[in-house]
Structure formats: C-alpha cells, structure tokens
Amino acid sequence: MIRRKVTYIIGHRNPDTDSVASAIAYAVFKDRTEEGVFLPARAGKLNPQTEYILNKIGVPAPEFINDLIPKVEFYMTAPADTLGDDTSLWMALQELEKTGHKMLPVVGSDRAYKGALHYNAFARNMMQYISPKQIKKIPTSLRYLAEALHAEVVLERERNTIFESRMLVAAMEKEAFCAYLDKERADETVVIVGNRRDVQALSIERGVRVLIITGGKAMEADLLEEARKKRVSVLVSPYGTARASWLAMYSSPVERAVDYSLEPVKMRDPIRKIKERLNKSVSRCLPVVDGQKHLIGVLSQGDILREPHIELILVDHNELGQAVEGVEHYRIRVIIDHHRLGNMHTDAPITFIN
C-alpha cells in the first residue's frame, strides 16, 4: 500500500504570528471544503507573542518542520507486507510470488525487523541441500512438512518442534534401503515412500521420526497401529514421491533462508545518503524501521521515482529564500501571500492568491 498524500500548509522561516495563524486557519478551511489530509506546519520556533496567542485561545502549535530535504518517510511504501519468523519457507515463497515483491521483510511477533527473504537468499539456501558435494540436514517440523506437502497429518508427535532432519526417499529395494536407513539416527529421519508395505513396516520398526506416504494412499490399519506404538508421525501427501521429495526441502523455517546482511534504513534518513545502498541492494529494496527497529515500511527504487507523499501550500511568503529548506523538491499547490511577488518557479500550474 502506498501512503496517502499529506498536504502541509506552511509559512516562512522564523515564523511570526500571521505566518502561523494563516497556516492554521487555511488548514481548517481546506479540511472542511476538500477531501484529503491538510496539516498546518511551521518552519521555525514560535516567538513569544505567537506562543501567548495560541495558549490564550487553546489552539495547539503547528508541527515543526526543520527542513524538507527528501527523506525516506516521504517516499516509502507503508505498511509493508511481511513474513513472520515462524513462517515455513514454502509458505514464504507462496507469499513472495502472490505479492509480486522482490523482497519481503521477516519480522518477529513484535514486528521487530530480523532480515529479508529474496530470491537470491532462497537460491543460496537451496544450494546447501542440493549440492552433491555436501550432505546437510534440513531443519523442519511436522507442521512445516504438512504445509509444504499439503499433507494430512494422520499421526503426530510434537507438531511444532523443529528438528534437524535427514530425508530418505525409498526408491530402491527394501534390503538396499535398509542399509541406508541403519546409518541414520531414527529420531532425525524422515522417510518418503509410496504404497510399499515392506518399506513402511521397516521404517516403523526402526522408529523413524516421520513417515510420509505419497500418492494419497492410506496406510493399512495394522501398520498404523504399530506406528502409533512406536510414536512415528505419519503424513499422507497427495503428491507423487518425486514431487514430495522436492517439496520436503521447502519445509524449513523461513529464518534459515533469510538475508541477515540487509541493513534497514530509518524514516528520517535523507534519500541522497541511502540511494547508493538502495541501488546496490540485491532486490533494489530496503526495509524501513523506527528507533526500536520495528518495521514501518519498505523503500524501493520505484518509490523514489514516483512523486513523494507530500505536497505543499505556502502562506505568507512566495520566495524560495524565505521558504523551508528543500521546498523545491515538492509540488506546490497554492501560494497565499500579501507581499510583493517573488520569482518562485513551479513545475505545474498553481493557485496564487495575493
């Protein structure tokens, strides 16, 4: 979601009473006569006279804007789509594809930023598991396996406990498979097998942690009873053995595939200072956080090519030399002044009231 535009109504630097009062009054007028968000602002500290008058009539002072140099907050997309750190890699990839984003921030339960998932990080993670040069265990849980394989949980043991698994695909004769199975720790082993009673029985006898039956075939009742006694979790997946074995590799927690090197930016960071980082980032996106590192939004290359989220109405002045620093970067909608006409340039036609 792109943030809604805000129109600031602001007077000159070193504001006097008519500069502040006109900003407040015109903001009320615009708010009552037009759709949109209109906020009064001031470009400096209130003088004693203005402060006294506002206190006397019970009107709060306008927001103080020190400068309008382009900052992250004026361009970012907020709120941002995110992934919880307990999301499975499979579900995270589904979300990445559904949203069409190049990157999704990963956050904790309190929305504290932890890292980011993008396709490069995912590819690096997968290379660890498909490389024939190294055999790595895959962190998973019964819940994550069921999600990735769209499987029915027939028997379950510790659904949410993450364990380092060795996944074995029973694609050979029972005797040959038995030799492989006996080399592994039973409480770490996940066996993926089709409708083969002999291999199912062997896996249950060895007490493997999870037995995944492929092809949507139900386990026979006597084997199911043995699995219950041995505390073997049983899943039934509608997919064939080949597809199920691939999907099982996506059953890790997303945090194992996260890019932790992608440092966030803050709302008040000037665009010119973070632009190089943005251009060099893999996904051309940067997460945006507050002072407590809670995620607020995302800034992309596309965001800074669009118009910023703010527009301006200038009151009691019409020259750049009197305006708040950085005003030239934004669309000026209206100028209301009672002084001589200055030479301010705007990119689009405006209303000028003198």
pTM: 0.80
Cα angle value 150/104/115 (rounded, 5°): 105
pLDDT at position 256? 86
In the chain, where do the E strands start and end? 6-13, 37-43, 63-64, 83-84, 103-107, 113-118, 138-140, 152-155, 163-169, 189-193, 210-213, 233-236, 265-266, 285-289, 295-300, 310-315, 332-336, 351-353
pLDDT at position 317? 80
In percent, the amount of the chain with pLDDT more than 70 equals 92
Where is average pLDDT lowest: 184-188, 246-250, 336-340? 336-340
pLDDT band at 318 (very low <50, low <70, confident <90, very high): confident
Query: Domain extents for the chain?
Result: 6-70+308-353, 142-246
> Per DSSP, what are the bridge partners of residue 145?
none
pLDDT at position 319? 79
CB 42 within 8 A of CB 20: yes
Which is more confident, 237 or 343? Answer: 237
* pLDDT tens digits, 251-261: 999 988 899 99
Which is more confident, 206 or 338? Answer: 206
One-letter amino acid for residue 2 of the chain: I
Mean predicted lDDT score pLDDT of the chain: 90
pLDDT band at 354 (very low <50, low <70, confident <90, very high): low
Q: What is the DSSP string of 301-325?
A: HHHHHSPPSEEEEEES---GGGSPT
pLDDT at position 247? 92
* pLDDT tens digits, 109-159: 899 999 999 988 888 777 776 655 556 788 999 999 999 999 999 999 889
Where is average pLDDT lowest: 26-35, 102-111, 244-253, 312-321? 312-321
Burial class (CB in 10 A: 0-12, 13-18, 19+), 157: middle
Q: What is the CA radius of gyration of the chain?
A: 31
* pLDDT tens digits, 156-172: 988 999 999 999 999 88
pLDDT at position 320? 79
Which is more confident, 201 or 342? Answer: 201
* pLDDT tens digits, 265-299: 999 999 999 999 999 998 999 999 999 999 999 99
As a whole number of angstroms, the distance between CA 132 and CA 343 comes to: 70
pLDDT at position 331? 92
Question: Which residues 6+ apart lie within 8 Å of 141 measured at CB?
Answer: 158, 159, 160, 161, 162, 163, 251, 253
pLDDT at position 1? 46
**Model confidence at 342: pLDDT above 90:** no
Q: What's the whole-number mean pLDDT along residues 62-70? A: 95
**Model confidence at 352: pLDDT above 70:** no
Q: What's the whole-number mean pLDDT along residues 181-196? A: 92
Question: Which residues 6+ apart lie within 8 Å of 236 measured at CB?
Answer: 151, 152, 154, 212, 213, 216, 217, 218, 219
CATH topology assigned to domain 6-70+308-353: inorganic pyrophosphatase (n-terminal core) (3.90.1640)
**Model confidence at 343: pLDDT above 90:** no
CATH topology assigned to domain 142-246: 3.40.1390
pLDDT at position 171? 85
Neighbours of 76 (CB within 10 A): 24
Q: What's the whole-number mean pLDDT along residues 40-69? A: 95
CB 315 within 8 A of CB 19: yes
